[in-house]
Amino acid sequence: MLAMNVKRLVKKEVSRLRAYNAKEIPCRIKLDANESPYGFIGALKAVGGLDTNRYPDPEAKKLRILLARSIGVNKDAILQGNGSDELIYYLIATFGGPVLYPVPTFSMYGIIAQALGEKYIGIPLNREFDLDMEKTMAAIKRERPKLIFLSSPNNPTGNCFSSGKILKIIGQSKCIVVVDEAYQPFASKKGFLPLLKDYQNLVIMRTLSKIGLAALRTGFLIADPAIVGEVNKVRLPFNVNSLSQAVAIAALKEKKLLNSCIRAIIAERKRLLREMERIKGVRPFPSEANFILFSVKDPEGVYAFLLKKGILVRNISGAVRGCLRVTVGRPEENSAFIKALRETEQ
Amino acid sequence: MLAMNVKRLVKKEVSRLRAYNAKEIPCRIKLDANESPYGFIGALKAVGGLDTNRYPDPEAKKLRILLARSIGVNKDAILQGNGSDELIYYLIATFGGPVLYPVPTFSMYGIIAQALGEKYIGIPLNREFDLDMEKTMAAIKRERPKLIFLSSPNNPTGNCFSSGKILKIIGQSKCIVVVDEAYQPFASKKGFLPLLKDYQNLVIMRTLSKIGLAALRTGFLIADPAIVGEVNKVRLPFNVNSLSQAVAIAALKEKKLLNSCIRAIIAERKRLLREMERIKGVRPFPSEANFILFSVKDPEGVYAFLLKKGILVRNISGAVRGCLRVTVGRPEENSAFIKALRETEQ
């Protein structure tokens, strides 16, 4: 057979897509991916003796019961995902598009909508990085989205959106509104869990990836059981593997350790912010997450300089002009970052 | 807000779907899920010391290199999946529908096509459980599928399809043909890997789930790098987690153990078949996989009787009239199964 043009066989929307760039950049201090600096090595023991030959519990019952209890909902209100990423996939597969979200925000909402061939609409945030209600409500009216994703605290801006605005969107839109609370453990504001009982179209996403368990790929959505039931239909039966289930359960039981890691990150975030504010030419934005967005005069130059010092941050200047994003690391990592950043002062 | 009808918000195709039934049935001897009876407990040690707080290698480089070497292809010809299930998702997201496959076969081709809102077409196998070429070629001409899935050895029938027929389909159809070789390690016939270089529209799927690593959810597709590149665009960046990558690598290095487990299963399959043939009212079909399909006069009754004895098999009678499916277990499990099955003799 003659070689054929693979492109011709691919769906148009996919053909236009570019693969997610996950190039590994060698560094000494990794502050680019919003990972926790603290792992749970002890919890890894939980895989010992697992039957590797058996399929995982397709319902992740033990894990969901544990989570349900800690959150204060019924386990039927929880759906497990191979990371929140997978739950975004499933939500879009279940409800379809158009998919609406503010920009800048977590890139996967748009990427996955495109992969699934659904229309996606980004509405620019206002100058305070909060939701622009005029534009948002107009877009809802005009586009009639099936899904709205609101990451709050928002990545990469770090702030929580105004609760009143989120509530208005949930209340007035007739569609599913997903509040992605990946960074909620680091926020001072309360999250939206208490509102689940009042709004049937509200879906909340949570993840273990930012609190020390990114290696596991375990995310959750919490919603009305009727919604969970529908999304569950498009879920692959064994999407969270046995190893992740076992380690997640063990780690979640170490509540004290979990909480002290979160507190340490919040304390370091405060220190980082304070120290960054003192550096000339650097303007950090307040953060409710485990990272800080900051503007500099020469983002490319500062990024490269930090990397030369072995410190990897994320260059966000494509999404937010002049900005880099630094993840809160261990105290000594943060100090090294501050020291290097000071050297960029002119 | 008034409670609203969630169903109204859900895509029509999803609304019609039923969730995959993965009800846990208590039993003493589990021979229902085509799992290997042999695990790799030693390989679990590979997770020790992993940084649980870091995201997995998004490219699963080490694992792909190891697999590529053992298969004899370049690593760019391999794409990793959270089980083959996820790769089916990605293939359908990439190429779209209609999706065509013989029936009965692995149920996920149709379920996932439906979840993604694509047309799916099942073409009945002939009386020998082989591909019905007249019907298949007519359907290809009529429906112009974008994807054809051929599970060979086929689940639940256990046989390999005729290679000539598969080749004709690959050669004459203008679409992507996926040969799902999940059960190939147990087959006497050679697989389709050597043909990859001749057919650019051929995709082969393999999995670690049947050879002792179902807990990990690790599947692969092997194809022309141009195809891999396109499917990779719809892949979630961190779809195979760090724990699975580490354990899969460790287990794959235990080649001798892997092969001896496979040989043990093949030997037991032969014995099972021989013994089943001697039981009145039981008609086992030849198998190239790690399970045996067999017909009995009263499938519901035999299923219930075996379960009462603590032995769980799969009731396939909905897909193949009068048939049950038993996975090859450990020698003592198989003997218990044979003993119980003999008691159903009249």
Residue B61 has a CB neighbour count (10 Å cut-off) of: 13
Domain locations in chain A as residue ranges: 11-38+256-342, 41-253
d(CA A20, CA A16): 13
User: From B147, which residue of chain A is nearest by alpha-carbon distance?
Assistant: A9
Select the residue of B4, B50, B236 nearest A85 (Cβ to Cβ): B236
Read out DSSP for A261-316? HHHHHHHHHHHHHHHHHTSTT-EEPP-SSSEEEEE-S-HHHHHHHHHHTTEE-EE-
List all residues 6 or more positions away from B297 whose beta carbon is below 8 Å from its beta carbon: B281, B322
Chain A positions in Cβ-Cβ contact with residue B38 (cut-off 8 Å):
53
| pTM for the structure as a whole | 0.96
Q: What is the mean pLDDT of chain A?
A: 95
**Closest approach of B121 to chain A, Cα-based (Å):** 19
CB pairs under 8 A between A and B: 276
User: From A231, which residue of chain B is nearest by alpha-carbon distance?
Assistant: B14
Chain B positions in Cβ-Cβ contact with residue A85 (cut-off 8 Å):
236-238
Residue B146: both structure tokens together = 């974008």
Mean pLDDT over residues A225-231, rounded?
96
A289: left (phi over 0), alpha (psi -120 to 50) or beta: beta
**Closest approach of B245 to chain A, Cα-based (Å):** 10
Phi, psi of A222 (to 5 degrees): -125, 125
| The domain made up of A11-38+256-342 is a member of CATH 3.90.1150.10 | yes
CA pseudo-torsion sign B316, B320, B324, B328: negative
The strand order across the sheet containing B283-284 reads: B283-284, B291-295, B323-327, B314-315
For every one of its 346 residues, what pLDDT tens digit does chain B have, with 9 covering 90 and above? 445 678 889 999 898 898 887 778 999 999 999 999 999 999 999 999 899 999 999 999 999 999 999 999 999 999 999 999 999 999 999 999 999 999 999 999 999 999 999 999 999 999 999 999 999 999 999 999 999 999 999 999 999 999 999 999 999 998 999 999 999 999 999 999 999 999 999 999 999 999 999 999 999 999 999 999 999 999 999 999 999 999 999 999 999 999 999 999 999 999 999 999 999 999 999 999 999 999 999 999 999 999 999 999 999 999 999 999 999 999 999 999 999 999 998 6
CB-CB under 8 Å, A30 with B52? no
Q: What is the pLDDT of residues A149-172, one digit of tens each?
A: 999 999 999 999 999 999 999 999
**A174 band by pLDDT with thresholds 50, 70 and 90:** confident
Chain B positions in Cβ-Cβ contact with residue A10 (cut-off 8 Å):
94-95, 230
Tell me whether residue B116 is exposed, middle or buried, using C-beta atoms within 10 angstroms of its C-beta: 0 to 12, 13 to 18, 19 or more: buried
CA pseudo-torsion sign A127, A131, A132, A136: positive
Select the residue of A35, A55, A233 nearest B214 (Cβ to Cβ): A55
**A4 band by pLDDT with thresholds 50, 70 and 90:** low
Select the residue of A14, A171, A229 nearest B230 (Cβ to Cβ): A14
What pLDDT was estimated at residue A1? 40
Single-letter residue type at A321: R
Chain B positions in Cβ-Cβ contact with residue A83 (cut-off 8 Å):
236, 238
Mean pLDDT over residues A8-27, rounded?
87
ipTM: 0.95
User: From A91, which residue of chain B is nearest by alpha-carbon distance?
Assistant: B10
Q: Which helix (H) or strand (E) holds B307?
A: helix B299-308
Q: What is the pLDDT of residues A272-317, one digit of tens each?
A: 999 999 999 999 999 999 999 999 999 999 999 999 999 999 999 9
Partners of B110 in beta bridges? none
Dihedral angle of Cα A105, A175, A203, A117, to the nearest 10 degrees: -60
CB-CB under 8 Å, B9 with A175? yes
Tell me whether residue A263 is exposed, middle or buried, using C-beta atoms within 10 angstroms of its C-beta: 0 to 12, 13 to 18, 19 or more: exposed
| The CATH classification of domain B41-253, taken from the options 3.40.50.1820, 3.30.70.20, 3.40.50.620, 3.40.640.10 | 3.40.640.10
Task: Establish whether domains A11-38+256-342 and A41-253 are of one fold.
Answer: no
